[in-house]
């Protein structure tokens, strides 16, 4: 559950999620830094729900391995602080697909779908495009504008409802 929550409430790319280490996560400031595409650094903020689920996950773990998310199959491999146990992007894709099936959703969702939902949710609730661009780590605002199609549809619905 913590993987799904972190993807949705932060807008992380799957590569950023699997590359995350425990010592990067600051529960006090509720944030961490990532290096995204093109080597661009950005700060990622944690929601109340993400804090809750990450805390539950860390409390459940019985190891001190550096990777935030590790595999549990194939036994423990403590070499290099558990680096070999780090989840891969493909394993996260499988986890998301598993929960999409369990929830009986009529769509096929991926980790990128959750990133898209993060951006759409921000825009739908009034966030400005420039802030969303920064949170997603986009170098160009035109990349972020792709997410406005949903909010434009919402604006059209409001226009039609209140301006006939």
Tell me if residue 147 is catalytic: yes
Among residues 112, 130, 156, 159, which one is catalytic?
112
- Whether 115 sits among the annotated catalytic residues: the reply is yes
Is-catalytic flag, 138?
Answer: yes
Yes or no: say if 100 and 109 are a contact pair by the CB < 8 Å rule. yes
Asked about 112 being catalytic, the answer comes back as yes
Catalytic residue among 37, 40, 90, 149: 37
Q: Which of 72, 115, 124, 163 is catalytic?
A: 115
Q: Is 37 noted as a catalytic residue in this protein?
A: yes
Q: Is 13 a catalytic residue?
A: yes
Active site residues: 13, 37, 112, 115, 138, 147
């Amino acid at each position: 559950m913590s993987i799904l929550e972190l993807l949705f409430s932060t807008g992380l790319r799957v590569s950023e999620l699997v590359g995350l280490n425990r010592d990067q996560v600051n529960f006090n400031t509720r944030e961490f830094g990532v290096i995204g595409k093109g080597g661009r650094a950005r700060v990622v903020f944690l929601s109340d729900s993400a804090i809750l689920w990450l805390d539950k996950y860390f409390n459940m773990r019985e190891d001190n391995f550096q990777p935030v998310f590790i595999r549990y199959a194939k036994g423990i491999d403590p070499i290099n602080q558990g680096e070999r146990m780090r989840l891969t992007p493909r394993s996260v894709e499988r986890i998301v697909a598993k929960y999409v099936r369990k929830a009986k959703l009529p769509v096929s969702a991926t980790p990128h779908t959750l990133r898209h939902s993060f951006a759409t949710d921000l825009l739908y609730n009034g966030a400005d495009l420039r802030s969303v661009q920064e949170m997603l780590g986009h170098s160009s605002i035109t990349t972020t504008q792709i997410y406005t199609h949903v909010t434009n549809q919402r604006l059209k619905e409001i226009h039609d409802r209140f301006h006939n």
